[in-house]
Chain A
Amino acid sequence: MKKEIWFGLSIMAAVVLAAILLLPPFAEMTNGHLGLFMLALVVVAIMLGFPTAFTLMGMGMVFAYIAYRSQNPSLAVDQTLDLMVQRAYSVMSNDVLISIPLFVFMGYLIERANLIEKLFKSMHLATARVPGSLAVATIITCAIFATATGIVGAVVTLMGLLALPAMLRAGYSVQLSAGAITAGGCLGILIPPSVMLIVYGATAGVSVVKLYAGAFFPGIMLATLYVVYVVIVAKWKPHLAPPMSAEDRRVPLPAFAQVVSTTVSDKVLPGLVGALKGKRNASVPMRELLNHMVIALLPLVSVALIMGAIFLKVTAPLPVEEVSGVVAMGGSLENSSEAESAGGLAEPEDEGGLKPPPAEEAPVAMGQAAEAPPAAEPVPAPAPVAAVPAAPAEPVVAQERLPAPASFWVALASAAVALAIFYAYFSFARLEIFKMLLGSFFPLALMILAVLGSIVFGLATPTEAAAMGSMGGLLLAAAYRRLNMAVLRESVYLTAKTSAMVCWLFVGSSIFSAAFALLGGQELINQWVLGMNLTPVEFMILAQVVIFLLGWPLEWTEIIVIFMPIFIPLLPHFGIDPLFFGLLVALNLQTAFLSPPVAMAAFYLKGVSPPQVTLNQIFAGMLPFMAIQVFAIFLLYQFPAIGLWLPETLYK
């Protein structure tokens, strides 16, 4: 207890001391110095623990009044009041911030759909062969779930309840387990659609669309780095993350699958075909076989449809040839896929009550089968035989007709090869895992990608996409039979509180930063920083170090809304792209969640971990992940293309 108080007091003392040392004596103080003094004061005031929004509002009002009074005392009160109300109104009618409540709402709904348990289990089985598989599954689950919900506290708590016991039981070290959970849980604030990027976009005046496009790959990169780290640790020091025993890896097969895999074939396709065609076992119902056939063929169908769509798009300028080309290409593929998707439509009816996954999958299948005649007779028998050889054959047919770019054929060929390999290894055990993934991973991933894709490709504004995402969240919760009045009410109230928290902070900070600008504090800082004659690199490092240090005592919302307005005007002097700066800041603020002693994530995890797990162990576990974050910032700085490639290709 004592330690933290001293830590905080020393920071406060340092701020006050720095302010006193840097500012001239009172008599020589100009308004600009007053602005700097206000900035120092606000840091201290925030640390005293008063709700930040009102600290900013009150202080902004007082200093705005001082600034106005020095210009014209008689008008000062009116001007201050006008400033306040106009700032408040501009936040109320801000067209960027409007997506915050919508994304928050989506997050709460998804969180309450209770997908995480399934997601973790299926990820865990799917990654069973990777070293440190539990930790890898934890990070991936966290990344996906945190991205969809964006609620760090809930994700860390849930994973602490699910993954921590699993990892401890498997003999993982406490540190590694804690680190994987906390670091993974925080990914949600970086990987879009994240609220943090909206807040940054609104503060810095950078397009949220570009920020989303830019943050996508750095987010994935960070998650990948975590996974790589865990895998290396598990390989290098197996006692920290022992491999799973064969016992744990075994997937229980349903009765029919056991029969088929012993009598016909262990692999799904030959097994199912064999069972359907000839020696039909009396014990296995036809319906079940067909249903599984449909599921087994989903990857093939989706690849075929995606490649078909790309093909249509690529060859669009030649309408006459296009038609014949598509028919030729579709050929055997389309026949089988139509039949399968038609089957997919019928499927949920008989087992919807038992298994939500097909019900969730149905809309997808429906979308894909839009052109398929609903009455199509299922003829699955020839499908597997025709499908795989069909892929290599297509180029020959189509090449005579259409000048599709070579890259398309390369992509098609590699997709075909990947599919062939996939089906070669597709055993019944893997089919079970695939079915679990269908119920947990794919709906979430699809939703995130749909929301993100429509924003990034310009099909919808972030607001529209966020609303569609909330709608998707409602549907998802309904599909998993978790949508009832209580859940809806909770989500609605929580959304209101979270949005009010963020947006009132914005009201406060915009009054505050207006006062800061009025006093001329900004100019003073500009002069001061420019007077230091920094190179852009030095400035960049300085800025990131300052933000990193601020991440200790403050939360990301406060850092962005209070300090970004100070940094952003400096960027043009150094020729730094605010978009790029935003990505670095977003990566940097990840560390704010993991840096002791105020790392929120650690406290959430501690709240649900067994009493013997100490906070120090959790902190120790987070340190390597913090190092990875710093490394990721370095990587992004060295190779800006990681972040900037996507926005530049899309919007220039």
Chain B
Amino acid sequence: MQKLLLTIDKISTFAGQFFSWLIVALTFMITWEVFSRYVLDNPHAWAFDVMSMMYGSLFMMAGAYTLSKNGHVRGDVLYGFFPPRLQAGLDLALYILFFVPGVFALAYAGYGYAADSWAINEHSNITANGPPVYPFKTIIPIAGAILFLQGLVEIVRCIICLQSGQWPSRGQDVEEVDVEKLKEMVNVKDEDIAKLDTLVTAKGVAK
């Protein structure tokens, strides 16, 4: 069981990280397109469609990855102050109430949506002779399914937390504000910060 959960975690992380490299491709593609249009005078009609497909696949596929790293924005006015058991209980209830039906519906609806698109061999109509859209629409059920699986993992995490009283650890990942890394980047050490304390207290006394 535990192993299965970790595997799902890994799958969604891998899928998210794999698709996240699209941002580099997107950067280069648009830069090239701008160069091609203004300097070579050779704009491509498909560029716009491809751009939005890259962006759409990027964020849809990263949804499960973000969830597995607890990266979706939460209102943590209160949440942050709750004890872990209460957090887990609330999360569990809301996963079952909102997440499971919502994401399942999205994935299911996305399946039908993509199937229709495949059936009519749909092409983009933004420009004449646009690129095919059906692979892009297929992203919705795939991303939905991975997200759904990841949600199940999160539910199990909540249950584990309810039993043991503390959150099971998550896979290591790069963080937006990694204080240790930032400290290293600007060459500040913990002792330096601790030393400042004397300044703060000295000032407090002097006042």
Q: Which A residues have a C-beta under 8 Å from some C-beta of B? A: 1, 4-5, 7-9, 11, 45-55, 57-62, 80-82, 84-86, 88-89, 91-95, 97-98, 101-102, 105, 112, 114, 116-117, 151, 153-154, 157-158, 161-162, 164-165, 168-169, 171, 173-174, 460, 463-464, 467-468, 470-471, 474, 488-490, 492-505, 552-555, 557-558, 597-598, 604, 607-613
Contact = CB atoms under 8 A, between A and B. Distances in A.
Nearest to A45: B94
Interface in B49-90: 51-53, 55-56, 58-60, 62-63, 65-67, 69, 71-82, 87, 90
A509 B94 CA distance: 17
A611 B197 contact: yes
B173 A610 contact: no
Given A45-B94, A81-B108, A92-B56, 13 more contacts: A48-B75, A49-B76, A58-B98, A58-B101, A89-B113, A93-B53, A117-B187, A161-B182, A493-B17, A493-B173, A498-B71, A499-B62, A613-B200
A389 to B, nearest CB: 40
Contacts of A464: 30, 33-34
Contact of A557 (B65, B73, B196): B73
Given A49-B74, A55-B98, A58-B102, A496 B177 contact: no
B193 A4 contact: no
B3 to A, nearest CB: 24
A171 B174 contact: no
Interface in B96-146: 97-99, 101-103, 105-106, 108-110, 112-113, 136-137, 139-140
Contact of A52 (B74, B110, B174): B74
A174 B74 CA distance: 31
A324 B140 CA distance: 63
B109 A84 contact: yes
B186 A168 contact: no
B164 interface: no
A52 B72 contact: yes
B94 A48 contact: yes
A540 B79 CA distance: 32
Contacts of A105: 23, 27
Contact of A51 (B27, B67, B196): B67
Contacts of B27: 102, 105, 467, 470-471, 474
A498 B69 CA distance: 11
A607 B178 CA distance: 11
B19 interface: yes
A555 B73 contact: yes
A496 B58 contact: yes
Given A49-B78, A55-B94, A504-B66, A608 B203 contact: no
Nearest to B108: A81
A559 to B, nearest CB: 11
Contacts of B20: 492-493, 495-497
B185 interface: yes
Q: For chain A, what secondary structure do more than half of its interface residues adopt (helix, strand, loop), or is it mixed?
A: helix
Contacts of A604: 177
Nearest to B49: A93
Nearest to B133: A93
A48 B78 contact: yes
A223 to B, nearest CB: 22
Given A8-B78, A89-B137, A57 B106 contact: yes
A463 to B, nearest CB: 7
B91 A50 contact: yes
Contacts of A501: 66, 71-73
- Considering residues A157, A504, A553, which has the most beta carbons from chain B within 10 angstroms of its beta carbon? A504
Closest 4 pairs (CB-CB, A-B): A49-B79, A58-B98, A496-B20, A92-B56
B113 A612 contact: no
A503 to B, nearest CB: 4
B63 A153 contact: no
A47 B77 contact: yes
Contact of B194 (A162, A558, A611): A611
A608 B82 contact: no
A328 to B, nearest CB: 32
Nearest to A61: B102
A157 B94 contact: no
A82 B109 contact: yes
A84 B81 contact: no
B169 interface: no
B102 to A, nearest CB: 4
B2 interface: no
A4 B77 contact: yes
A57 to B, nearest CB: 4
B62 A497 contact: yes
B107 to A, nearest CB: 9
Nearest to B17: A493
- Considering residues B23, B60, B80, B136, which has the most beta carbons from chain A within 10 angstroms of its beta carbon? B23
B148 to A, nearest CB: 11
B41 interface: no
Contacts of A84: 102, 105-106, 109
A505 B63 CA distance: 10
8 contacts: A85-B112, A86-B113, A89-B113, A158-B182, A493-B20, A496-B19, A496-B59, A611-B194
